[in-house]
Structure 1
């Protein structure tokens, strides 16, 4: 009897343990199947419905992750009012708002719903229904690309949106009426659109706000209003950064013996108008701050006229009353930074950037060394300021005679070679090594024809570090010829300089102005189509073709003037 009770106890114990351990078994194959939708209410493509709650049922337990951000709903509703909950295998969406009459709604769930075990996502989960008798069926499709090449090969987190023509909001201020996402190569298709007139935008939605942040995110637009009465195809949009925030002086104040002007944005053009400029009044730019120096005015102020321009073309013309006060503050040290092409054929070129305006150069301690006892003296005519008003950037160009056979040369500047307008000297010497190239290792000639009649054109050859190694500014021809390029892999591009300011300019949506076009030499059959390989001894004759302009092809006749 005792043995029977003992056996019974063991059996009961194993039964309890077994029951307690019921659940997901350890090991076994990984669950790679996404949740399957069993039912949805209202049903997909239903009409004459105006739900306040949407319910989805799946074949397994699911969860919802950031649904108010992840779920794309068109036309837009107030998603801040929407509540999304899960209960085992069900997702319940309480809209908490009235939907519009006779309107087709599309809920694109993207990656908002996942199973609870392996985070598998349902395939192409979407709900379409209409509050009226018909499902809107028009579409808007095309492609989005970046004007400037991105480090990532695939396009990610890029959205396309349509705003009603009479909507007072835009891509910078509110989410669009219709919205969709591009694929990895920039193609998009917005469906179930109601006939009407719209404005189209695209943007990189890095922070998932469903609108563009003008200071951080690239965006683009189509200049003309789009009339959608039939399917619109082949739309083209280009993305670039364009900061349309106000360009202004945030504050201005004395800083030691100097005067600082703090701007809201980085200025691309600076003109300072004053009778003492570069005589006793000097300036330097450090990001968004302009510092004024005056060598003779102490404890007094003077009117200085500023004429500034930012990257989108906004102008700031104003007068500041700069006060220069006596101060015991110690002067800032003079610092130097050298930027140079390390390899050369006939001429050594370098730029020296200073943190303060330069007043004097001691040429006795500035030269090119090519062995322990020989050097090429650098003379005043070999130096120039890149901008006559900006005395913080000096360009150096030194011709090396063919009679010198050395391979290595060193730009040398001893300490105390340069003196700034406050009387400070550089305390660190400069030594930059250069290597003379063998002409036989260089490409003989690269002839580049830009297939456009628009002039002027900036033609650039850019290395893999995104540095311009050669550039030509074409004003009378569309053909650029480069000689003696080093063997390497480059980007070759052409910029249409529409405003003739010798640089690329981004868009200005407020002025309905597109960014200046950039055309790249491309090999469509290559894995890296923008790469151009140049080898020593080569001669190339290539043509850069224009890229598609932003907008809708005119032959579609769906652009409203």
Structure 2
């Protein structure tokens, strides 16, 4: 009998263990599959309640519907009016407990803005622009500001931009120095709303930055502002802010380095008018240098035939006026890796535009070439051509030949055909291409009507990638003709050229200078093969900058 009982107990023991393992393991499994969680935490309960009057509590308890985390809470969470001693933020399961460490002012409305601090645990979904409001008196401030933020060069809505206000009495003390106590973030349509504001006069700004500090302290950040202070004595709406990369107050070099090929790159923090670079040391290098600038004239690259030096001193000038001097060291025997490569003036389909010569551009200045080592074939038959230097670019040559539409060509550049200024020679290379047909191109004529002939405008034609293909400065109603443009989609934008220099100019916050306004034609222009199109464009009056 005892043996039967023992067997029974053993069987039940192992059954219990098996069930425990099955259900125990199942209980700790994370559910698999299903839709991804896209919902941020949701507030279930606030103690004291949001919008409480005659507030006298020492702490606030916020209960959410899921587990959450705080991200950069001392950067993202602000309380207005600002307190000298910051509150403490403590997480207790699904609760956030805010403990005040400073005395609250009497008869004052407080707004706690959580920015992007509150996120769920699994997917980091952000509870954006959540605020908790209370008043230590019987009245809660209820005024509001709302509007929209756009990019000044594209007119596109800017999401995730920080909109901030400062009381005008504190503007010069706080803006660009401390993060704002009153701010919000634009939604996916660029809209913003600031609520529970006290009556007063404010300065308003928008900021798009990579770092989360909400302080305008970097020339690379995008900034927007309103020229006029906002006198808030009633709800104010339709505020438009245009973000721009401002003209820096002071010139500086943002980057200087020797590249792997021995060239030195110098990047400026702004565009220069008639820039020039002069090598001060070693002095004998200045007359043999080759300098090229990018299209926006905010960076330069220096090529030097003689690399036998251990340091370099370069002066940067604008309109022959010295701006700065940089100093860069290198090993006297330091070796550089150079590979002479080429690019060609072919379109996106690898075809040569009708009537064009083939333009070969090297990555380094060309010292010499041997035409006998370069062959051109048409439909597999070698042909005779002319090779000439580009007098405007020491890195380029032209292959001159009567290229015939629809024919297939092969350019073969044999080894050592080109020699750069350092004595390096190219490896064997080449490219197949086709001479394009004229019917794949179109002519576009823009009939532009301007609103005010006393002012200047810049008409820009952009491709589908928003790259400017051509700019024309005009002062009167005129026709602009664009011949030989590849079929595709194009856009037109117009700069209200305030200073009449033929290009768009940015603004400056400190000088209270707004960027020049841009109007974008709302119709996309489609060019079809072998087509002559006309498009009437009536430029509207320039909007008044707020």
State the TM-score bracket (shorter-chain normalisation): 0.7 to 0.9
1:338 to 343, 361, 364: 343
- Give the drift of 1:305: 5.0
Partner of 1:177: 181
CA distance in 1, matches of 2:332, 2:31: 75
Deviations 1:327-356 (A, max 9, x none): 555576363442524245533266655444
Can you list the C-alpha shifts for 1:286-313, whole angstroms capped at 9, x where unaligned?
9967436366x9889999753159xxxx
Give the Cα–Cα distance (whole angstroms) in 1 for the partners of residues 355 and 420 of structure 2: 27
TM alignment of 1:230-245, pairs within 5 A: 230-242=234-246, 244=248
The equivalent residue for 1:291 is 302
Cα deviation per residue 1:121-151 (whole Å; 9 max; x = unaligned)? 889853222344432222221111223459x
Unpaired stretches in structure 2, ≥5 consecutive residues: none
Q: From the superposition, tell whether residues 137 and 299 of structure 1 become closer, same or farther in structure 2 (CA, over 3 Å).
A: closer
Structure 1 residues 197 and 334 mapped into 2: Cα distance closer, same or farther (>3 Å)?
same
Helix, strand or coil for the counterpart of 1:511? coil
Q: Could you tell me which residue of structure 2 aligns to residue 157 of structure 1?
A: 160
Cα distance in 2, alignment partners of residues 395 and 267 from structure 1: 29
The number of residue pairs the alignment matches comes to 522
**Whole-Å separation in 1 of the counterparts to 2:174 and 2:276:** 34
Counterpart contact for 1:172–1:214, Cα < 8 Å: no
The 1:227–1:25 alpha-carbon spacing in structure 2 relative to 1, beyond 3 Å, is same
Give the Cα separation in 1 of the matches to 2:408 and 2:497: 38
Relative to structure 1, the CA distance from residue 68 to residue 538 in structure 2 (aligned partners, 3 Å threshold; closer, same or farther) is: same
Structure 1 residue 462, shift from structure 2 partner: 1.3
Aligned to 2:464: 463
Structure 1 residues 115 and 429: CA distance shift in structure 2, 3 A: closer
1:363, CA displacement in angstroms? 6.0
CA contact (8 A) 1:458 1:472 kept: yes
Q: Residue 304 of structure 1 contacts residue 322 of structure 1 at CA under 8 Å; is this kept in 2?
A: yes
Q: Is the 8 A contact 2:290 2:303 kept in 1?
A: yes
Give the Cα–Cα distance (whole angstroms) in 2 for the partners of residues 79 and 62 of structure 1. Answer: 30
Task: Give the Cα–Cα distance (whole angstroms) in 2 for the partners of residues 145 and 486 of structure 1.
Answer: 31
Assess, with a 3 A threshold, how the Cα gap between structure 1 residues 172 and 131 changes in structure 2: closer, same or farther.
same
The SS at the match of 1:168 is helix
Q: Which of 41, 44, 55 pairs up with 2:47?
A: 41
Provide the C-alpha distance between the structure 2 equivalents of 1:205 and 1:429, rounded to a whole number of angstroms.
44
Query: What's 1:374 paired with?
Result: 383
Deviation at 1:51, TM superposition (A): 4.8
One of 285, 288, 301 as aligned partner of 1:280: 288
Instruction: Identify the residue that residue 518 of structure 1 maps to in structure 2.
Output: 518
2:133 alignment partner, one of 120, 125, 128? 128
Contact 1:407-1:437 at 8 Å conserved across structures: no
Could you tell me how far 1:473 is from its partner in structure 2?
A: 4.4
Q: 1: distance between equivalents of 2:460 and 2:122?
A: 54
Q: Kindly tell me: are residues 168 and 42 of structure 1, through their superposed partners in 2, closer, same or farther at Cα, counting changes over 3 Å?
A: farther
Structure 2 partner of 1:534: 527
The whole-number CA distance in structure 2 between the counterparts of 1:50 and 1:198 is: 29
Q: Give matches, 1:356-375, under 5 Å.
A: 356-360=364-368, 370-371=378-379, 372-375=381-384
3-state SS, counterpart of residue 73 of structure 2:
helix
Residues 230 and 481 of structure 1: is their aligned pair in 2 closer, same or farther, counting only changes over 3 Å? farther
Show the counterpart of 1:543. Answer: 537
Q: Distance in 2 between matches of 1:395 and 1:512?
A: 47
* Counterparts of residues 37-436 of structure 1 (less than 5 Å): 37=43, 39-49=45-55, 51-57=57-63, 62-66=67-71, 68=73, 72-73=77-78, 75=80, 77=82, 81-99=86-104, 102-109=107-114, 112-113=117-118, 125-149=130-154, 155-165=158-168, 166-168=170-172, 172-212=176-216, 214=218, 217-242=221-246, 244=248, 247-248=251-252, 265=269, 270-272=275-277, 280-283=288-291, 290-291=301-302, 293=304, 306-308=316-318, 317-318=322-323, 333=338, 335-342=340-347, 343-348=351-356, 353-360=361-368, 370-371=378-379, 372-380=381-389, 383-385=390-392, 391-392=394-395, 394=396, 400=402, 404-409=404-409, 415-431=415-431, 433-436=433-436
Task: Give me the whole-angstrom Cα distance separating, in 2, the residues matched to 1:127 and 1:73.
Answer: 11
CA contact (8 A) 1:214 1:241 kept: no
Rate the CA distance shift 1:229–1:55 in 2: closer, same or farther, 3 A.
Answer: same
Give the distance between the partners of 2:411 and 2:475, measured in 1 at CA.
35
Cα drift, residue 544 of structure 1: 6.2
Select the structure with the greater relative contact order (CA < 8 A; seq sep ≥ 6). Answer: 1
- Contact 1:443–1:483 (CA under 8 A) maintained in structure 2: yes
Deviation at 1:457, TM superposition (A): 0.6
SS in 1 for 2:180: coil
Contact persistence 2:360–2:399 (CA under 8 A): no
TM-score normalised per structure 1: 0.71
**Aligned equivalents of 1:395, 1:494: Cα separation in 2:** 35
Q: Is contact 1:252-1:259 (8 Å) kept?
A: no
What CA RMSD, in Å, does the superposition of the two structures yield over aligned residues? 5.3
Which secondary structure state, in structure 1, belongs to the residue aligned with residue 510 of structure 2? helix
Q: CA deviation at 1:408?
A: 3.8
Tell me, which stretches of 5 or more residues in structure 1 are unaligned? 310-314, 524-530, 553-561
* Whole-angstrom distance in 1 between the partners of 2:124 and 2:327: 61
